[in-house]
Amino acid sequence: MAVEKRISRALHWVGDLTSRAGASAVVAVILVVFVVVLAIAGFPGYWMSAFATATSFITLVMLFVIQHTQSRQQTALQLKLDELIRTSPQADDHLVHIELAPDAELDRREQDQIAHHEWLREPPQGVDHQHERDARGDPPRDTNVGNAGS
């Protein structure tokens, strides 16, 4: 477990370091210098092969760094959202850990949400859902929009 913790810290350190704007500038300078040196040396094939190998290795490492960082951030965000769902009396408790549900259930719930949002935005003539918008904190609808000249 201690090894995993050290690896995780190292990956986060690399992720933090490489996400800075200065890191992009350093990489750009290194690339320009490398291309100039290659041109001066007559573009030796073994240098280009070594460069291609190094860039492939760096790309693979960065793939794992990004994946690890995003996975950790996604888990933390999911825990925060789950806590909000648990503490809200109006929330659907079935949404806690919904990311573990089968795809069919996710698709069904997404379609239910879309239908509900459309129903709230486009109420039938003469029906106002202001009490539901009030519960969410939405501003009141202006029912006179477009009727200014009447």
Express each pLDDT in 69-82 by its tens digit: 898 888 889 888 88
| Among 77, 55, 74, residue whose Cα is nearest residue 66 | 74
pLDDT of residue 58: 92
pLDDT of residue 141: 54
pLDDT of residue 149: 46
pLDDT of residue 150: 42
- Look at the pTM and tell me if it is higher than 0.75: no
Q: By the 8 A CB rule, do 133 and 120 touch?
A: yes
Q: By the 8 A CB rule, do 92 and 108 touch?
A: no
pLDDT of residue 142: 52
pLDDT of residue 147: 46
Ranges of the chain with pLDDT below 70: 123-150
| Exposure string for 56-70, b = 16+ CB within 10 A, e = fewer | eeeeeeeeebeebbe
Q: What is the rounded end-to-end Cα distance, in angstroms, of the chain?
A: 73
State the Cα–Cα distance between residues 10 and 17, nearest whole angstrom. 10
pLDDT of residue 29: 94
